[in-house]
Structure 1
Amino acid sequence: MDQPLNEKLITASEQGDLPTVEQLLNEGASVDYKDAGGRTALMAAVQKNQIPVAKRLIEANSDVNTRDVTQLTPYLCAGANGFHEILKLTIAAGADIKSVNRFGGTALLPSSEKGYLRTVRVCLDSGVAVNHINDLGWSALLEAVILGNGGRLYSDIIELLVAAGADPHLQDRDGKSSLEHAQAMGQTEVVKILKNEDREQHEAILQAKSLIKADNYEEALGILDEALDKEGSNADLIYYKAYFLSELERYGEALEQYRKGLALNPHDLDFYFYTANTLRMMRKPEEALAEYDKAIELDPEETFYRYHKSNYLRELGRHEAAVAEMDKLLAQQPHRYDFSFHKANSLRSLGRHQEAIDAIENAIKHDPANPLYQKHKAQSQELLDKV
């Protein structure tokens, strides 16, 4: 096995350098070779959303179900990061849609949690079980309610999940359902969806949403433009125009529209989340993080934006910063044992294993029978013993 050649393939794949990938494959580089983190070249390409390279490696029979040291497969990684194009490629190549990550969740759960509507749609269309429960005791619907904010995007995700058969009465490990969480969090639109009550939506938006189900994006955008021409500024119309543009990967135009929404009402904090997501897809991490910070500054008591900022920091591998955000979240909501769990995982990534054990103990105190917490404590203890 030519290790330098294989390592070059992983590097070129991560960088999206398709000509070099092609050359290295022709020279005999192995698509099955794994680096110290258990990553194949395909996993490296998926992590950076390098679509042409991922497509080429899949054509070269790279295994879409092989796992790295974090137990992610290329399929699960694409789902967790909202990379719907690569997700579709892995499914077409035989991805195991029943497979789960180290938290016991399918690809549908993290995409529902993080607000990746199109990825949710791909998962549901491929047959991923809508009521699967992960080791935290949450379904995709519970995650979308508990870790969402009940705004435009999360309402659409929840509407999609419910239409696919998500059960609003499934309970978490505390015996609380999605409906009860939505009511307690004041998510008015979500409560209507979960109760199957009528929602008041602009006729142009209903028409546009119907059209994009058949991928008629240009026609949908035309309907929204016509409504905007007639009515002038309307935050909901602007949002849907921007979101459809982002689904078409016209990120610059989408960002411009989201900025219009913010100019209309700088306190419509949802738009900071949308701009952050768009900048993330544009690979502008510093600008994306700044958008989260603007929302946090405007409403420091709202945990939603800080939580999703910490999620993004973990994706970027900035675990020190993620721990700092988790500490702030726990200061606000010490009863959120899931925050302690995420903090523990970042601490373990930093090699601070005793602190990771201390953090997971906080979660265990709340839910001592949870096998996921016990498993992660044991893993951190094992790593600490090795040190």
Structure 2
Amino acid sequence: MSDGNETHAAQLLAAAERGDVHGVVALIQAGADVGVCDHRNRTAVTIAAFSGHAEVVTELIAAGADINAQDDERYNAVLSCGVTGDVEVLRAVLRGNPDLRIRNKYGGIAIIPAAERGHVALVRELLDRTEIDVDHVNDLGWTALLEAVMLGDGGAAHVEIVRLLLKGGADRSIADPEGRTALDHARERGHVEMVALLEAPRGVAS
């Protein structure tokens, strides 16, 4: 890579992080490689997604950025949305047709960290606009439903996520490696509203 290209690459990564749409476009037009990575193997599109810059994500996708590329910690653009809960960025990422089956370092897909962190709008968006596997089990043996109950605080956001997951067809019978279901965990934690949702006949909770 020439010094000029190296400079463009570094500038592209920096522009993506700060959300400089015009700068990103200018650098792409000047020949910057949209597949360039930083020291953590994060591409510009992953950096832009994590930083909350939907317009930059859109421009990078249009320029041919690999939306599925994972960094050293196995994050990519769509998996970053599960962490940040940024719906606008998710919508931009989805226009790039990401592979929603790609797993993070815990073996999970985007809906699992979103459920754990209480990102109601993002969970809703994934369920409404994609065919994401609502019953995906990560390497810990947990689904989005289990994580919403086990790792959530039992508050309004996590209750709503449990409702959305059930409405989206989540299998409440899936148990963790110790054989405990989401209902078992909700009862143990005294999450009354979650218990009511999980005890209701299928279809009633929605």
TM-score, structure 1 length as denominator?
A: 0.50
- Look at both structures and tell me which one has the larger radius of gyration over its CA atoms: 1
Superposed displacement of residue 184, structure 1:
0.7
Corresponding letter in the other structure for 2:72? V
Does residue 1:152 correspond to 2:161, yes or no?
A: no
Match of 1:162 in 2: 166
Match of 1:22 in 2: 25
User: SS of the counterpart of 1:181?
Assistant: helix
Superposed displacement of residue 196, structure 1:
1.2
Give a deviation string over 1:199-219, Cα, whole Å, max 9, x none.
xxxxxxxxxxx9xxxxxxxxx
1:1-387 correspondence to structure 2 within 5 Å: 1=1, 2-125=5-128, 126-196=130-200
Query: Separation in 2 of the partners of 1:149 and 1:191?
Result: 14
Match of 1:266 in 2: none
Decide whether the 8 Å contact of 1:10 with 1:44 is kept in 2.
yes
Gaps of 5+ in 2: none
Match of 1:316 in 2: none
Superposed displacement of residue 152, structure 1:
1.2
| Greater RCO (Cα-Cα under 8 Å, separation 6 or more) | 2
User: SS of the counterpart of 2:125?
Assistant: helix
Indicate the percent of aligned positions where both proteins have the same amino acid.
37
Give a deviation string over 1:93-134, Cα, whole Å, max 9, x none.
110011111111010000000000111112212011111110
Give a deviation string over 1:339-363, Cα, whole Å, max 9, x none.
xxxxxxxxxxxxxxxxxxxxxxxxx
Corresponding letter in the other structure for 2:156? R
Query: Separation in 2 of the partners of 1:153 and 1:73?
Result: 25
Give a deviation string over 1:168-211, Cα, whole Å, max 9, x none.
221111111100000010000000000117xxxxxxxxxxxx9x
RMSD, matched Cα: 1.4
Match of 1:228 in 2: none
Query: Separation in 1 of the partners of 2:108 and 2:151?
Result: 15
Query: Separation in 1 of the partners of 2:178 and 2:137?
Result: 14
Decide whether the 8 Å contact of 1:91 with 1:97 is kept in 2.
no
Corresponding letter in the other structure for 1:99? I
Query: Separation in 2 of the partners of 1:37 and 1:135?
Result: 23
Query: Separation in 1 of the partners of 2:174 and 2:99?
Result: 25
Superposed displacement of residue 88, structure 1:
2.0
Corresponding letter in the other structure for 2:76? T
Query: Separation in 2 of the partners of 1:58 and 1:92?
Result: 8
From the two aligned structures, give the one with the greater helix fraction. Answer: 1
User: SS of the counterpart of 1:103?
Assistant: coil
Corresponding letter in the other structure for 1:149? D
Corresponding letter in the other structure for 2:158? Y
Gaps of 5+ in 1: 198-209, 211-387
Q: Which runs of 4+ in 1 moved over 4 A?
A: none
Superposed displacement of residue 79, structure 1:
2.3
Query: Separation in 2 of the partners of 1:94 and 1:156?
Result: 27
